[in-house]
Structure 1
Amino acid sequence: MTYPFSTIWINGRDISIEAIRNETALPASDFERATFTFIREWLSDQTIFEIQTSGSTGTPKKIILTREQMLASAHMTEQALALKPGYTALVCLHTQYIAGRMMLVRCFATGMRIVVTEPAANPLANIPDSIAIDFTAWVPYQLYAILSSPEAARLNSIGCVIIGGAPLNQEIIHELQAYSCIFYATYGMTETISHIALQTLNGINASSVFRALPGIALAIDERGCLTIDAHHLPEKIVTNDLVELKDNHAFLWLGRWDNVINSGGIKIIPEHLESRMMNTLYECGILRPFFIASVPDKKLGEKITLLLEGEALDEEKKYIIHQKIKQTFSSYETPKDIITLPKFLYTNTDKIDRRKTIEMITKRS
């Protein structure tokens, strides 16, 4: 197999593709080892790949993907984002998982130059200004870190960024409007071989809905959850994601069916509340990870609770937050309690593990 570039740039070093293929390139970290291994497997024309799911929506498991499926996914993204040979793509997500691996596959499929840096809160801090980035993929905490750093100025020189893993703060989306780089939120999972839909977050095409990539057909089941049909997937995928379907190519994401709270007979989607809670906490000066969940309650069955990571709040701060929440939320939506934990439990891909974190609270009480 030939490749347009003879080297990749990784953690400050130019490494030849040939050195990776013949295993003379020595990895300096576990991340580099995973990256070199996947590149070597891909360039040897390997046809089957085993990939670990993150565990953010269930028990982590290994699934089998084919080379043809991964190439089909890469070409859909190439078409949707107008990626071109000769572009430079920054890979800064772990290549043990689907998001990082598919960045590498997109480079090979499209002919983009590969620039790789160890996953970090601010990956741009590790990339010299002399390296111009056309395309990259981040998770929200990376975007937040970059926006509050001197590297934010570089966002005007990047072509486009795809962001996945968790919803973005509306205040942050508003902040993105000042930059010429086009940002997209992604919807997808390991089982769909990375994203199958994109939401344009800024620019003249900014939208509140996700639009499916070419060749993807969408529908909903009897629960109101999204189903996905695609030519590169062996069968229809039935998700647990509650959506408002606009047509068979566009949808508004509402939340997870398995996170729905039944409080006093009223069903509440916590993710729907969290999108507003982000702004409320921001106005109160609370900038830390959080989520809304339920804990057992003798009277209500389940009690809506705001969970905050970090140091405990004093009673005055709790009172201020409660008063601010009451201005935004109806009585049945308002969290009845605020619980702080020093540290949430996370998946291997740095997503909050809601189920295990809630279990930890239940055991503690």
Structure 2
Amino acid sequence: MGKIILPHQSYAFDDIKGGNWAESEPYFADSLRFCQDWLCGQTSFELKTSGSTGTPKTIRVQRTQMEVSARATLGFFQIAAHARLLCCLNTAMVAGKMMLVRGMLWDADIYLVNPTADPFSDNKLPQRFDFVAMVPLQVETCLNNPKGLQKLQGIKHLLIGGAGLSPTLFDKIKEQKLNAYQSFGMTETVSHFALAKIEGENLLYRTLPGVKIGTDDSGKLWVKAPMAIEPLLQTNDLVEMVDEDSFFWKGRADFTINSGGVKIQPEILESQIQPYIQSVIGEISFFIGGKDDARLGQKTVLVLETDQISDSQTESLLSLFQRNIPKYQLPKEIFCLREFVRTSSGKINRVKTLEKTL
């Protein structure tokens, strides 16, 4: 029989059904109440969308959808019985809730910790885990300290989601030979419906069992998945289909910049310029956006999460861009902001952040 292990207490699943969490720390109390509802047979649950591309909203999903998702992940990774899981994601969001659901359905031991940047700060955690899901920031933090790296190397299957990987983090994961996968999904598909092993030069996403995919006339991905809230879900993701079960992701159609009739995919350009930004400024958050322009319709701009950069840094950046980036893609302006607007799950809200540059 599986159990949930908190920093100072553990509960067998059977004991959770009749538990009272009034005196527990709020985060753990909320997590245990969700488990209680699940174990007592609740048939539907409310999930919050991240709001990374629009207004956050609450949607209702059925228990069966969450079960299908958890079992598809189990089948993909072939997780053994009596597995050991670490839940270090915010359980108010779908990714954290699904870690709890997986543990309960798989009859696993779930180690539940606060969703901080360093999930392994608790010295009492085991050395090895069978399955762990993290956001890129957590992986980056762990890779940059010896204890965290050792723990990462002890994870049999590492799932990374919530945001894209920077080229630097992508290379670090490969260098350490972690068995890591980037997830692809959304709240509406109850977590991921495709996964890409972090290896090679580009991420090749493969669908979970039972998922069907294709593209519309504009190259945007559609999904038919048993775990989705709709029979057919049309996304705004531009993809390159490899076969009926796999694809390369190219970017978001709603982020596409139309500059003088030339369409620019910010995510692709960001990947190209990341090494230059790192060499001149260091490791900072940034993104490419489009702003209204009287002549071009939209112009490409670079937004950096920093108070300011020097004139020499600006000159160095522009020089590197001009030598390595096609002229029509060059950022026409550089903006510096002390702090980006982020969603509750940690993603950069590009629309609201770009509004701060007005």
The two structures have a TM-score, normalised by structure 1, of 0.93
Q: Which runs of 5+ in 1 are unaligned?
A: none
State the match for 2:320 in structure 1: 324
State the match for 2:40 in structure 1: 44
Structure 1 CA distance for aligned equivalents of residues 347 and 65 of structure 2: 25
Amino acid at match of 1:24: N
Amino acid at match of 1:265: G
Moved more, 87-96 or 297-306: 297-306
Moved more, 132-141 or 15-24: 15-24
State the match for 1:23 in structure 2: 19
Cα shift readout 1:108-130 (whole Å, capped 9, x = no counterpart): 11122100110011101225254
State the match for 1:123 in structure 2: 119
Contact 1:200 1:207 in 2 (8 A): no
Contact 2:321 2:330 in 1 (8 A): yes
Structure 2 CA distance for aligned equivalents of residues 130 and 143 of structure 1: 17
State the match for 2:179 in structure 1: 182
State the match for 1:14 in structure 2: 10
State the match for 1:194 in structure 2: 191
Contact 2:13 2:39 in 1 (8 A): no
Structure 1 CA distance for aligned equivalents of residues 270 and 231 of structure 2: 32
Structure 2 CA distance for aligned equivalents of residues 335 and 27 of structure 1: 53
Amino acid at match of 1:218: I
Alignment root-mean-square deviation, CA: 1.7
Offset at 1:247?
A: 1.4
Q: Does 1:215 align with 2:210?
A: yes
Any residues of structure 2 matched to 1:22-101 within 5 Å, and which? 22-26=18-22, 28-101=24-97
Offset at 1:250?
A: 0.6
Offset at 1:97?
A: 0.9
Cα shift readout 1:261-295 (whole Å, capped 9, x = no counterpart): 01111111111111122222122242111110012
Q: Which runs of 5+ in 2 are unaligned?
A: none
Structure 1 CA distance for aligned equivalents of residues 243 and 232 of structure 2: 17
Structure 1 CA distance for aligned equivalents of residues 222 and 25 of structure 2: 39
Amino acid at match of 1:62: T
The ranges of structure 1 where at least 4 consecutive aligned residues each deviate by more than 4 angstroms after the TM superposition are none
Local SS of the residue matching 2:346: coil
State the match for 2:219 in structure 1: 224
Structure 1 CA distance for aligned equivalents of residues 6 and 325 of structure 2: 47
Offset at 1:18?
A: 4.9
The number of aligned residues is: 356
Contact 1:84 1:111 in 2 (8 A): no
Which of 141, 165, 174 is the aligned partner of 2:162?
A: 165
Amino acid at match of 1:217: K
Offset at 1:65?
A: 0.8
Identity percentage of aligned residues: 34
Contact 2:259 2:299 in 1 (8 A): yes
Local SS of the residue matching 2:175: coil
Q: Kindly indicate whether structure 1 or structure 2 has the higher relative contact order, using CA contacts under 8 Å at least 6 residues apart.
A: 2
Contact 1:184 1:200 in 2 (8 A): yes
Offset at 1:178?
A: 3.4
Contact 1:290 1:308 in 2 (8 A): yes
State the match for 2:269 in structure 1: 273
Structure 1 CA distance for aligned equivalents of residues 34 and 93 of structure 2: 11
Any residues of structure 2 matched to 1:277-316 within 5 Å, and which? 277-316=273-312
Which of 149, 153, 157 is the aligned partner of 1:156?
A: 153
The two structures have a TM-score, normalised by structure 2, of 0.94
Structure 1 CA distance for aligned equivalents of residues 264 and 242 of structure 2: 21
